[in-house]
Structure 1
C-alpha cells in the first residue's frame, strides 16, 4: 500500500500544532522540505561565494595577510629598519631621509591604518554573513530533525498499537483453538500442534 506524502499544511498542524500560515519563513521552508522528502546540503562558503565580488575577495585576502604572524614580523622588521636608517647613527652616511620623530613614517602608518581598518571590517561583515547562513542552516536542520523524530515516534506508536491488536487477535485464536480442540476431544492426527 503506497503512503500519501503529507502536505506542509498537514505537517504544521500534526507536528507543530499550528497553522502553516502562522509559521515563520524558515519553518515553512523546513516543512516544505520534509513534505517533499528533499534533502539539502548547504555550505555557507559556497553560498557566499556566489555573490562574492572582486572587492570582497580582496578584503578577505588583505584581512588574511594583515592578521597573520608573518605580516607582524615583516612589518616589525620594516619599522626597525626604517628607524635604524633614519637614526643619528646613519646620518653620517648621508642616507637619512626621515629624521626623528619620523613624521613621514607616521603619515604612512596612519594611511595604512586608515585603509586597512575598513577593509578588515568588510571582511568581518562577510564572515558575519557566512555565520548567519550557517546558523540559519543549522536551525533548519535541527527543526527538520525534530520533526522527523516526531513523525517516527508516531509511526512507531501506530506500529506498536497494531502489534498489540494483532497480539490480542493471536491470543483469541489460540484460546478458540484450545476450546475447539477440547470439544472435539483431542488433537487430530493430521495436524500436530507444536509448542
Structure 2
C-alpha cells in the first residue's frame, strides 16, 4: 500500500467519488473522523441542552406545561371557579357576565403563550435538524465501514484463491515430476 492511499484526497475519491474540495461540511467532518479513527456520533440532547440560555429553558418548561393535561385541568377549574364566583357567589361581582375581564386575561395569556410555544417548537425543529445530520453521518460512516469490510473480504478471498492456485500448481508440478521420473 502506498502512502498516497492514506491521504484525505484519496479517501474522498474512494468513498465519495468526489474531490476533497467538492465534499460538503458533513462529509468532510466524517472523512476527518474516519481518517483519525474516531467516533462520529454525538449525543444531540447534550449538545443542544448545553447551548440553551435561561430564557430558552424557561420557554421549553412553559411550553411543556402549557401542553399538558395538568394545565388543561387547572385552567378548566379556574374558568369554572371564575364564572361560578362572578355569577352566583358574589353579590357585586368584579367581572359580571359576559366576563370581559376574563376575556382580557385569556387574550393576554394567549398572546404570551403562543410566541413561547413557537420559540420552543423552533428550537425543537433545530434539534431535529441536528439529529438528522447526526443520523446522516452515522449512516454514511456505517456504509463506508461496510464497503471497507467488503473490500477486505474480497481481498482475503482473492488471496486465498491465489494461495490455492499456487498450491494446486505445486501439486501439478510434483505430479508431473513423478510421472517423468517413472517414465524414465
TM-score, with length taken from structure 2: 0.91
The verdict on how the C-alpha distance between 1:156 and 1:177 changes in structure 2, with shifts beyond 3 A counting, is same
Give the count of matched residue pairs.
181
Instruction: Indicate the residue corresponding to 1:74 in structure 2.
Output: 74
What displacement does 1:133 show?
Answer: 0.8
- Does 2:127 correspond to 1:130? yes
More helix by share: 2
Q: Distance in 2 between matches of 1:116 and 1:181?
A: 96
Instruction: Indicate the residue corresponding to 1:115 in structure 2.
Output: 112
Instruction: Indicate the residue corresponding to 1:24 in structure 2.
Output: 24
Structure 1's unaligned 5+ residue stretches are: 186-195
Q: Distance in 2 between matches of 1:69 and 1:4?
A: 62
Q: Secondary structure at the match of 1:178?
A: helix
Say what the alpha-carbon RMSD is for the aligned residues.
1.9
Structure 2's unaligned 5+ residue stretches are: none
Instruction: Indicate the residue corresponding to 1:90 in structure 2.
Output: 89
Cα contact 2:40–2:137 (8 A) shared by 1: no
- Does 2:129 correspond to 1:144? no
Cα contact 1:5–1:35 (8 A) shared by 2: no
Cα contact 1:60–1:120 (8 A) shared by 2: yes
What displacement does 1:95 show?
Answer: 5.7
What displacement does 1:184 show?
Answer: 4.2
What displacement does 1:104 show?
Answer: 0.6
Q: Distance in 2 between matches of 1:11 and 1:135?
A: 24
Instruction: Indicate the residue corresponding to 2:15 in structure 1.
Output: 15
What displacement does 1:158 show?
Answer: 1.6
What displacement does 1:152 show?
Answer: 1.6
Q: Distance in 2 between matches of 1:5 and 1:105?
A: 73
Instruction: Indicate the residue corresponding to 1:162 in structure 2.
Output: 159
Deviations 1:35-58 (A, max 9, x none): 111113311111111211110110
Q: Distance in 1 between matches of 2:153 and 2:18?
A: 23
TM-score, with length taken from structure 1: 0.86
